Copies of this chain bind each other. A is one copy, B any other.
Amino acid sequence: MVEFEFTPEQRDLRAVAREFCTERFAGPEVRRLVETPDGFDREVWRRLGRDVGLLGLALPEELGGAGAGLVDLALVAEEFGRAVAPAPLVGTVALAATALRLAGDDGTAEELLPAIAEGEAVVALAATDDRGAWAPAQPTVRATRTDSGWRLTGEQAHVLDGAAADAVLVLATTETGTGLFAVDGAADGLTREPLSVLDLTRRLARLRYADVPARAVGEPGQAATAVAGARDVAAVVLAAEAVGGAQRLLDMSVEYARTRLQFGRAIGSFQAVKHRCADMLVDVEHARSVAYHAAWAQDAGTDDPRVAADLATTVTAEAYLRVAKNTVQVHGGIGFTWEHPTHLYYKRAVGDAALLGGRAAAAERLAAAVLDGPALGGVA
């Protein structure tokens, strides 16, 4: 695996993903979906899993997956990002499936992962506290062992795909530490309140647990590792989505600048617009490099995977935001309207920057790794 060199199979995979997204997540369809309660289409999701096989890419073959790596998943994510596709890819495929895979619980994994790969099960990873903070040291849900099994009590905010999920994987406090628990989406005592979100393509919910029956998943000691690993995978998926989104915005901006005339000439012939587009290109190229690198770092060990993931978050989050802002500016008033697709990407960029602890936390971890610790490989 040479870094940055895709195999022919990977190129085919990208083509399949792009074709699917072009067909199923065209602009009008995305605008329709974001105004629906769930925010995505179950049937399309099933087709992605069952028919196209994109949801189990990175899962082991024995669990219904394709046994491919994160590079493959990143390629698919890039196409999802390009279409700003509203679908539980990050919540279910990146976060929940990875946590399940790493939790060390073969039984639950064998039950849920094939269903995820088939697009049958939407699963959420609820690893926030009651204010939405990611992976708290002290989870605000408490798990208690009773005669009839585990029971959960407490509250979590900002759970990605939490309202639509068929099952929720909950990070909770036990007497012996932090553990993961599986809860049925329809369980008694579970109430799910969809939050009014800025980015309508990613739905968040507040979950309240009032003595909710739950099943322990894996050993308590594994929970933190599973959640951290899920975040690293999701960071790569988010970064790849950002690359696709930013590239799409750049393409739109260039097309508009080429064809929109003011003062009798294409606005892209003015240096102010042209140089802005050049800066967008730099952002997109940098974002692409760090996102791919983070995928290869996990698959092929070309770098410390966590450093690469934090680098990817830091660079892509800023690049996506800046490209989105520049896209509005290049388009002028039309780019500020509801009818134009730009705002969907812009809000996606804003929302992503705050997910999984947010970009500030990623930069802080990167600083700790690069500046505080012993010198990194190659860093003087």
Contact = CB atoms under 8 A, between A and B. Distances in A.
Interface stretch (A92-100, A115-123, A268-276, A323-331): A268-276
Interface residues of chain A: helix, strand, loop or mixed (majority) = helix
Nearest to A272: B271
Contacts of A275: 272
Interface in A251-287: 270-272, 275
Ranked nearest first, the 5 interchain pairs of A and B with the lowest CB-CB distance are A271-B271, A271-B272, A270-B271, A272-B275, A272-B272
Interface residues of A, number: 4
Contacts of A272: 271-272, 275
Interface centre among A270, A271, A275 (most CB of B within 10 A): A271
A229 B194 CA distance: 58
A168 B265 CA distance: 66
Interface string A139-166: 0000000000000000000000000000
5 contacts: A270-B271, A271-B271, A271-B272, A272-B272, A272-B275
A275 B272 CA distance: 8
A271 B271 CA distance: 6
A95 B99 CA distance: 64
A275 B271 CA distance: 10
A278 to B, nearest CB: 11
A270 B270 CA distance: 9
A270 to B, nearest CB: 6
Nearest to A270: B271
Contacts of A271: 270-272
Nearest to A273: B271
A309 to B, nearest CB: 32
Interface in A69-127: none
A263 to B, nearest CB: 12
